[in-house]
Amino acid sequence: MNASSCIALIVAAGTGQRFGAERPKQYLDLAGQPVLRRTIDAFRRHPKVSAVRVVINPAFRDLYDAAVAGLDLPEPVAGGASRQDSVRNGLAALAESAPDLVLIHDAARPLIDADTIDAVIAALGTHPAALAAVPVADTLKRGNGGPDGGLVAGTVDRSGLWRAQTPQGFRFPEILAAHRDAAGLELTDDAAVAERAGLPVALVPAREENFKVTTPDDLTRAARALDSALSDIRTGSGFDVHRFAEGDHVTLCGVRVPHTQRLDGHSDADVGLHALTDAILGALCAGDIGSHFPPSDPQWRGADSALFLKHAAELVTARGGRIAHVDVTIICERPKVGPHREAMTARVAEILGMPVDRVSVKATTTERLGFTGRGEGIAAQAVATVRLPG
């Protein structure tokens, strides 16, 4: 099969009422990123997946836009009244591009691994449909339907039984036709739609970690699984200095602070963000800010230093890691940082896409000693803790 024509269709149109949160579960935070974004990234990183399309509930478009900010994705597809309707809408939206293969995946399964995606795609080389699944290991009991579970009415033979997961993969023309023919029916998953159409469905062994986030306990379990996978914990440090020049404000940690002078530098001379960028790059052993953004390059003249920090954060994400904690210390006699510290903390958290309670910004003086004590400039030092796959 031509892997370049394999599209992942992420189904994210549910309202998550069973979860009981203030927003649908696919938009909740999972270790610093929305559940949906983690799901999307798993497919975007896979070399055999050429594109990702998402099906959403238009009522939550703002949440969707925030979750996928910075990603180059096609316009999302509006979902329907049921999951089956939503998938059919998504498939219809792909009809114009007519991919060879489509992988249909639940947005609430953010821990999908590359090997399982690979295996489902490989199975489509010999079968028109394939689904990731896990063999049933527990003994199964049939209840009598009584209150509070009732009584055991019998034991079910578990041999040959599997628990269906996603992705469920299909040759595109066949599953589109099958879904259109099954419109209005209440089938439990896309494999059932394929079965109804007479399409043989291959079982692809998957992993227990590819569970669906349905309850708050599931979200906690997913966060623990992510942490355990990121066992390579690194710490990087950064330091930066800029002298004062004529002006009326300084930019510190992304916040404009009124002052009688400005900081002199090729970009906006934000010492806080420069030091933090170097700290993250240091944790990655990826050089320094000057090697990524040379001061001799005119395109960075007057640039917002948030660009530099975002770049460092994207390098962490590209390595499959996340930034666990950052700490910035600004060293100066003036201006006073205290009144702006909360805004600085919030801005750094926003740039890095991480919770505010994992960002520290503070300030100190040198008791009027040295160049900062003489009011000639401002210095900053930063420490970043990064977690990478072990």
Give the annotated binding-site residues: 240-242, 266-267, 274, 288-290, 364-367, 371, 374
Q: Omega into 335 within 30° of 0, i.e. cis?
A: yes
Burial class (CB in 10 A: 0-12, 13-18, 19+), 315: middle
Residue 311 CA, distance from chain mean position: 15
Verify cis geometry, omega within 30 degrees of 0, for the bond prior to 258.
Answer: no
As annotated, the binding site for a divalent metal cation includes 240, 242, 274
Nearest-angstrom CA–CA distance, 45 and 37: 12
* Cβ contacts of 17 within 8 Å, gap of 6 or more: none
Q: Which two tokens stand for residue 213?
A: 């986030």
68 and 91 in contact (C-beta within 8 Å)? no
154: β partners: 142
CA distances for 9 relative to 38, 62, 145, 167, 269, angstroms: 14, 20, 37, 9, 43
Q: Tokens 């309670």 sit at which residue?
A: 357
**Overall size of the chain counted in residues:** 390
